[in-house]
C-alpha cells in the first residue's frame, strides 16, 4: 500500500488485526510499480465497469471476469526499460534543483536534540 491514510482508519486496522495473513508493505506514493497497478485498474474501470449497469455483486463480478478473460487472451508482460544510472541522474537533478530553491532541504534529518530543563 502507498502512504495514503486509508490504512490508518480504525475499521481497517481492526480488519487487519483479525486477518494476520495480510502483511502491510509500504511503498512510496509515486512509485512506478504502484502507478502501473493503478493504470491497470483504470483500464478495468473504463472498459468493464464505469458505464456498466449491475443489478448485483455477482453481476459485477461476472463483468470483471469477462474483462479478465479477454485481457488474458493476449497478455503482454511489462518490460522495465529504465536504467538505474538514468534514474539516479534524474534524482540528482531533482535534488540539485531543490537545493537551489531551498538550500539544505535535501539533507538527511538528524535526531532532534532534547532540551535540558
Which position has the higher pLDDT, 104 or 116?
104
Highest mean pLDDT out of 21-25, 29-33, 99-103: 99-103
Cell of 74: 493476449
Q: In three state form, how does the secondary structure of the chain look?
A: CCCCHHHHCHHHHHHHHHCCCCCCCCCCCCCHHHHHHHHHHHHHHHHHHCCCCCCCHHHHHHHHHHHHHHHHHCCCCCCCCCCHHHHHHHHHHHHHHHHHHCCCCCCCCCCCCCCCC
Residue 113: the pLDDT is: 53
Taking only the tens place, the pLDDT of each residue in 53-82 is: 899 999 999 999 999 999 999 988 777 787
* pTM (two decimals): 0.48
Closest CA to 24 of 33, 32, 13: 13
Q: What is the mean pLDDT of the chain?
A: 84
Looking at the predicted structure, is the pLDDT value of residue 110 above 70? no
Cell of 40: 491497470
Amino acid at each position: 500500500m502507498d502512504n495514503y491514510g486509508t490504512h490508518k482508519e480504525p475499521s481497517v486496522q481492526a480488519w487487519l488485526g483479525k486477518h494476520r495473513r495480510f502483511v502491510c508493505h509500504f511503498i512510496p506514493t509515486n512509485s512506478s510499480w504502484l502507478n502501473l497497478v493503478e493504470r491497470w485498474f483504470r483500464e478495468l474501470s473504463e472498459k468493464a465497469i464505469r458505464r456498466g449497469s449491475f443489478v448485483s455483486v455477482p453481476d459485477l463480478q461476472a463483468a470483471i471476469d469477462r474483462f479478465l478473460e479477454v485481457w488474458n487472451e493476449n497478455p503482454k508482460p511489462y518490460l522495465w526499460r529504465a536504467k538505474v544510472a538514468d534514474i539516479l541522474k534524474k534524482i540528482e537533478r531533482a535534488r540539485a534543483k531543490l537545493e537551489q530553491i531551498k538550500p539544505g532541504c535535501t539533507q538527511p534529518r538528524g535526531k532532534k536534540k532534547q532540551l535540558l530543563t
